[in-house]
Chain A
Amino acid sequence: MTPALDIPREIGFNQQFSVNVNGVPTEIVFHGFANKWFLVVTQLGKIPGIYNVHFDVKKDERVIPYLHGPVDNPEFHVSVPITMNCCLGLDTDETRSAIQFLVNRTGLHKCPSEFVVGLGLKQIDGPNLRALAKVLEEMIF
């Protein structure tokens, strides 16, 4: 994912932009380092918490549940198995749920090894997370 360094870029990372998610201004930064991905999604102007997310299964195996059916169907729902470690900030169930949701719903589950995510959402609920997942899927993955 790391781009050729000699190619001039207009921003300092693979992706860095500001977008409205359900009407809330949101800053998004993404960069693929050689050993892990880095993602910041914040509506607070800063990074209130940082999580390191490790995939429990290999890349080829973790997408099988995704291929087997719609992950948003409760009857067939299977989450991508991950382990989250809170490195900085308040460790809450809501934030962990949001990260799991984004892994299930976006190309984050294509990450080769692990990723670091800084998440700062004003309100964590279904509509906001679905809107955010849509933006990430369209703009980054």
Chain B
Amino acid sequence: MASANKDIVPVKESGPFTSHCVHLEAGPSQFTVRALKMQGSTMLFVNPKESEVLEELAVAMPPRNPTSTEPLSSTILGGHGQTDSSVLAAKLSKRYRRQFYVSLNLKLDRLVGPLFEKSLVTYMHDHLEHFA
């Protein structure tokens, strides 16, 4: 259902940082993911394909305590408390045990939300070298 388009942007090594851009589908919607992989952290920008903005930004990091699994997350730009960006950042941080910055600028509902997450997670799993 969710699949990457043909116009996938190839990654280019640039020192310790790499970046990547891909257009994905979630049901009827298309969205763009831009990723910046840094040392120990990853930054994701997720937008509708037709219009890219930077409204929200959240950060999440895995706990230092090895017995704890719950990541810490915070919204640092455009929004207060728990936002879509901070929720996704926390999920990714928990999954990959890595600091994630996430700017999620999609209007998701209960139908498209799970499709979007499945599409993103599947792509990240299949192209892990760009993200973690």
Q: How far is the CA of A74 from the CA of B43 in the complex (A)?
A: 39
Q: How far is the CA of A88 from the CA of B43 in the complex (A)?
A: 14
Flag whether A29 is at the interface (Cβ < 8 A): yes
The answer, among B15, B20, B52, B101, for a CB contact under 8 Å with A25, is B15
Main secondary structure of the interface of B (DSSP, over half): strand
Flag whether B77 is at the interface (Cβ < 8 A): yes
Choose the segment among A3-11, A59-67, A100-108 that binds chain B (4+ C-beta atoms closer than 8 Å): A3-11
Q: What residue in chain B is nearest A32 (Cβ atoms)?
A: B52
Flag whether A52 is at the interface (Cβ < 8 A): yes
Chain A 5-36, CB within 8 Å of chain B: the 1/0 string?
Answer: 11011111100111000000101010101111
Q: How far is the CA of A102 from the CA of B98 in the complex (A)?
A: 31
Q: Is the CB of A33 within 8 A of B53?
A: yes
Given A5-B32, A50-B76, also A27-B16 (CB < 8 A): yes
Residues of A within 8 A of B9 (CB): 8-12
Interface residues of B in 20-69 (CB under 8 A from A): 20-21, 23, 32, 34-36, 38-41, 43, 45, 47, 49, 51-55, 57, 59
Q: Is the CB of B57 within 8 A of A16?
A: no
Given A8-B7, A31-B34, also A17-B14 (CB < 8 A): yes
Flag whether B96 is at the interface (Cβ < 8 A): no
The answer, among A29, A34, A36, for a CB contact under 8 Å with B51, is A34
Q: Is the CB of A16 within 8 A of B36?
A: yes
Q: Is the CB of B77 within 8 A of A12?
A: no
Given A46-B41, A116-B77, also A5-B14 (CB < 8 A): no
Interface residues of A in 40-67 (CB under 8 A from B): 40, 45-47, 50, 52
Q: How far is the CA of A116 from the CA of B12 in the complex (A)?
A: 24
The answer, among A27, A34, A35, A36, for a CB contact under 8 Å with B17, is A27
Q: What residue in chain B is nearest A36 (Cβ atoms)?
A: B54
Q: Is the CB of B55 within 8 A of A29?
A: no
Q: What residue in chain B is nearest A88 (Cβ atoms)?
A: B76
Flag whether B73 is at the interface (Cβ < 8 A): no
Residues of A within 8 A of B21 (CB): 9, 11-13
A interface residues (Cβ-Cβ under 8 A, vs B): 2, 5-6, 8-13, 16-18, 25, 27, 29, 31, 33-36, 38, 40, 45-47, 50, 52, 87-88, 116
Sample of 16 A–B contacts (CB below 8 Å): A6-B7, A8-B10, A9-B21, A12-B35, A13-B19, A16-B17, A25-B15, A27-B17, A29-B17, A31-B34, A36-B53, A36-B54, A47-B101, A52-B77, A116-B57, A116-B77
